Structure 1
């Protein structure tokens, strides 16, 4: 793993070298800090003090830059001290080593892929089982409706048969009555 000297106190004997991730972290912090502290341009600064003459504006701007520089250095030193105290560099180095080991370990990526595939397959099978159970339930409900309709048809058929027999009986009685009535009228 490549080590880049990044962080250290003002004297060279206490400087510590950390890896690439910490280098990026440290550079990003310093860039953000510089951007925040220098966000006011000279023109904007002069506009803020428009009632002052140019000599006073220049003096105030130089004083402002000195304060900003001092503040910048103080914040950087505090940042570096906090990073050393909390071992941010060591932690990021450990993360970097783990990532490198995982990149080199071909089975690590395969294991996660296999686990993902197994999980996806399991989820798909569970969804398929739920879908099939739902289809079976719908089929059973459909069969029950068909049975009820068949039962109603049988009952309707029986009723029609009974009605048909009743109509035949009435017809027969009617024919007998009509025949008997004719015979009585003709004096038979």
Structure 2
């Protein structure tokens, strides 16, 4: 935490300006950390890994599926960020962190502050808030992982469906070939009999 106000300074406006600019840094750090963690989690599959999972598909089909996958990931990323922000607003995380930061700064600036029992209370409250926050984030990550599992299952079903269609196409071609050969052979036999 940065202290730019000199002790003993009588300039109240510089003190309030410094405090106002410093407030919010903890929430900002929390928000950035969450966004970074979600982005890392959702972008952990490279295009090469994705394309490798669909080796029997054409390049056009692979590109289409990858674009679709990226659209789903982008949508999921936006939804998670919105949910996180909504939870933070509902639980007033930013306000709580700002209040804690302000209290800590005020106590750091007050040389005569000797009663540290309030810090213990603040620490306990902050600890409880952090535990709740961790549980919420873990639930969100689990939801994201479950969604990713569902996406992987859907992609696997698409891959298997494509393989079934490919196998069926080969079987139909083989049956046609046999029918054509049979038809050609039976017409030759009819001409031989006449």
TM-score (norm 2): 0.47
Structure possessing the higher radius of gyration over alpha carbons:
1
Normalised to the residue count of structure 1, the TM-score between the two structures is: 0.49
The answer to which structure, 1 or 2, has the higher relative contact order (CA under 8 A, 6+ apart) is 2
